[in-house]
Amino acid sequence: YFNKFRIGGQGTLRGYKDDQFRGDSMYIGSLEFRFPLYNKVKGAIFTDWGAAWDDKWLPNDFNDFHASVGVGVMVETPVGPIRIDVGHGSQGNRVHFNVGASF
């Protein structure tokens, strides 16, 4: 249980709870477009997708696949970027907050 891959939440699958999905195998993907809003403030629109499953090769069915879309705002500060994202997954909306550099 503790050695499984975990996806969900900021950094993997926004719009879902942190580490909501677990499995022996996984994949994730993300596509994000960032644009300037004002001075040191940037906006973003994104989509995330991924799956975690226990079979060695491929997910058994599409119930293991999860996707989300959302928007975010990032502000550059002296202590690093502060970011708020709102993701919408199959279970509704979820807000994610992050301080510090992100890839």
pLDDT tens for each residue of 33-89: 999 999 999 999 999 999 999 877 777 777 789 999 999 999 999 989 999 999 999
pTM, entire model:
0.86
- Per-residue pLDDT for 12 more than 90? yes
Burial of 22 (0-12, 13-18, 19+ CB in 10 A): middle
DSSP string, 73-100: EEEEETTEEEEEEEEEETTEEEEEEEES
At 55 the pLDDT is: 76
At 56 the pLDDT is: 72
